[in-house]
């Protein structure tokens, strides 16, 4: 057979250089198919004595791969074990560390085995018992708890319980108040209870000073009747009680009612015109604190006609408020809130007074003074969002013509 016809291109004992180099380097010579045990023996010959190799060669070559034991060659006895040297860990080593770590690991395993309980929901249920009987999402509870510092979710809620109100038929809207409404709810108080106002709340607003300011809470997520139905039914009792104005203020300033599309400026102003302005404001200041500009701004958003009367009632102290005297008192209030860093109150104070005859829009000296004060502090403390809003609002108020 020619050399080119052989399986590996040449002598069966030779393997050509795979790189095909032109150098005359040595050619590795191996035997194809040779027992791997023989290869192992060839590497062992360098470290073993001739006597040991001779003993292995006597009929045991074929079994080396399965029965070879290194302990027989290097003289390690089976009964011997490895001993670790004990090192001096120094005088600062505390042997109690390992014991403490064991205790920590045991406590960790114990904590992992305990059932998981929502701590936030437990705390929140203690603060708001009304949540106990309602299916409230844990995400909502966590959201409320995380905002415990800013308290932006706290508000006045007149309606806090599930509604029991029976809706009126459509004919009551077309042909006037339904007589059945007064039969089911003979008084306005009974109607409010059906809406979801607690009886304790009805007593509270007459006994407490500034109850709408001192009784802020989170939304209880109670079930509500349609707002258009409640508003129409509420208006039917306008001439039924002397306390209608007080209940009217508590009702429209409820956050849920205020944010509804049916409690708008047209409906609220229509009811407001039926009252004596002074009597209405007397009822209002008994319910809301004089520096609660958050609710003051909500009132003038619903009843713009009450803005001048409200400012005069808050700052006149029984005197006629006009012109330069009004600006001085408003600037003093601004400085007081600004120096005390009550920026949230300051924001709603500015929104309450602007647009009135006492603080008109435009490029006035007072507005420029307000803007300079806010700008100085805003540059040094940009973290307060109220300052950013104040700076933006005052910039807009300057551009509005008086």
Cα–Cα separations (whole angstroms), residue 338 to 21, 187, 335, 345: 90, 46, 5, 9
Based on the fold, state whether residues 267 and 152 are members of the same structural domain: yes
Statement to judge: residues 333 and 199 lie in one domain? no
Whether 141 and 236 share a structural domain? yes
d(CA 333, CA 39): 100
Q: What are 268-322's pLDDT values in tens digits?
A: 999 999 999 999 999 999 999 999 999 999 999 999 999 999 999 998 865 566 7
Q: Is there a contact between 239 and 271 (Cβ–Cβ < 8 Å)? A: no
Distance between CA atoms of residues 402 and 358, nearest Å: 12
Distance CA 315, CA 66 (A): 105
Range(s) of the domain holding residue 204? 137-302
Check pLDDT > 70 for residue 37: no
| 261 DSSP 8-state letter | S
- Of 257, 177, 169, nearest to 212 (Cα)? 257
- Whether 261 and 377 share a structural domain: no
Please give the structure tokens belonging to residue 70: 């290194």
Out of 302, 333, 362, pick the residue that ends a domain: 302
Helix (H) or strand (E) holding 155: strand 155-156
Is residue 136 left, alpha or beta, with left meaning phi > 0 and alpha meaning psi from -120 to 50?
Answer: beta
- Same domain membership, residue 221 and residue 142: yes
Average pLDDT over residues 234-244: 91
Question: 294 and 146 in one domain?
Answer: yes
Which position has the token pair 């508590």?
Answer: 250
Task: For residue range 339-396, list pLDDT tens digits in order.
Answer: 999 999 999 999 999 999 999 999 999 999 999 999 888 765 556 788 889 999 999 9
pLDDT greater than 80 at residue 206: yes
Q: What is the DSSP letter of 259?
A: T
| Both tokens assigned to 124 | 């929140």
Identify which of 257, 272, 279 has the alpha carbon closest to the alpha carbon of residue 304.
Answer: 272
Residue 16: inside a domain? no
As a whole number of angstroms, the distance between CA 206 and CA 135 comes to 32
Q: Please give the model's pTM, rounded to 2 decimal places.
A: 0.66
Burial of 52 (0-12, 13-18, 19+ CB in 10 A): middle
The residue from 241, 271, 302 where one domain ends is 302
Total number of domains constituting the chain: 2
279 and 321 together in one domain? no
Residues 383 and 329 in one domain: yes
Do 160 and 271 lie in one domain? The reply is yes
Residues 214 and 332 in one domain: no
């Amino acid at each position: 057979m020619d050399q080119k016809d052989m399986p590996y291109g040449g002598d069966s004992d030779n393997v050509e250089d795979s790189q095909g180099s032109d150098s005359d380097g040595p050619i590795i010579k191996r035997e194809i198919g040779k027992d791997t045990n023989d290869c192992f023996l060839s590497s062992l010959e360098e470290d073993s004595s001739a006597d040991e190799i001779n003993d292995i060669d006597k009929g045991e070559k074929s079994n080396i791969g399965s029965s070879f034991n290194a302990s027989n060659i290097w003289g390690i006895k089976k009964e011997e074990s490895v001993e670790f040297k004990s090192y001096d860990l120094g005088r600062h080593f505390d042997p109690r560390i390992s014991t403490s770590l064991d205790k920590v690991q045991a406590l960790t395993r114990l904590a992992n085995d305990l059932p998981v309980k929502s701590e936030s929901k437990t705390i929140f249920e203690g603060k708001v018992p009304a949540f106990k009987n309602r299916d409230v999402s844990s995400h909502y509870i966590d959201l409320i708890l995380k905002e415990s510092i800013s308290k932006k979710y706290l508000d006045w809620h007149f309606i806090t319980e599930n509604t029991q109100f029976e809706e009126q038929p459509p004919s009551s809207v077309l042909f006037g108040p339904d007589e059945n409404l007064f039969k089911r709810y003979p008084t306005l108080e009974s109607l409010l209870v059906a809406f979801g106002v607690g009886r304790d709340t009805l007593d509270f607003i007459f006994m407490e000073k500034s109850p709408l300011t001192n009784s802020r809470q989170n939304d209880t997520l109670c079930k509500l009747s349609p707002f258009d139905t409640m508003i129409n039914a509420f208006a039917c009792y306008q001439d039924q009680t002397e306390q209608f104005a007080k209940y009217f203020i508590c009702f429209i300033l409820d956050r849920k009612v205020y944010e509804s599309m049916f409690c708008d400026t047209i409906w609220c102003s229509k009811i407001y015109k039926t009252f004596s302005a002074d009597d209405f404001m007397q009822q209002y200041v008994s319910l809301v604190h004089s520096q609660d500009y958050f609710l003051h701004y909500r009132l003038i958003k619903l009843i713009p006609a009450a803005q001048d009367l409200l400012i005069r009632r808050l700052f006149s102290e029984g005197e006629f408020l006009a012109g330069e005297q009004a600006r001085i008192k408003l600037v003093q209030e601004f400085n007081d809130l600004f120096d005390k860093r009550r920026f949230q109150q300051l924001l709603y104070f500015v929104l309450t007074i602007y647009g009135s005859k006492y603080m008109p829009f435009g490029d006035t000296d007072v507005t420029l003074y307000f803007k300079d004060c806010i700008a100085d502090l805003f540059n040094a403390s940009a973290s307060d969002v109220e300052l950013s809003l104040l700076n933006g609002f005052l910039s807009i108020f300057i551009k509005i013509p008086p």
